[in-house]
Amino acid sequence: MSNFGFLKGEWPDLHDEAVRAERLANADPRAACFYARRTLELALNWLYRGLTLGRLGVWGGWKV
């Protein structure tokens, strides 16, 4: 049972990455952080495309 089942129907890509992060939380926290960040990046990219704000760029030396 995942905390992210509600994402599966409408956003399967987000669901897959979030579940991967969740599964790795105890076994490999560093990898879990990677997948959690990837999930957030996918969500932000979806938001920017939906609001027609263009693409996310580089902020403070970090790719956003």
Residue ranges per domain, the chain?
5-63
Cα–Cα distance between 19 and 7 in angstroms, integer?
A: 10
pLDDT score at 48? 76
pLDDT at 44: 87
pLDDT category of residue 10 using cuts at 50, 70 and 90: very high
pTM (2 decimals)? 0.73
What confidence tens digit (pLDDT) does each residue in 11-63 have? Answer: 999 999 999 999 999 999 999 999 999 999 999 888 877 776 656 565 555 55
Cβ atoms 15, 8 nearer than 8 A: yes
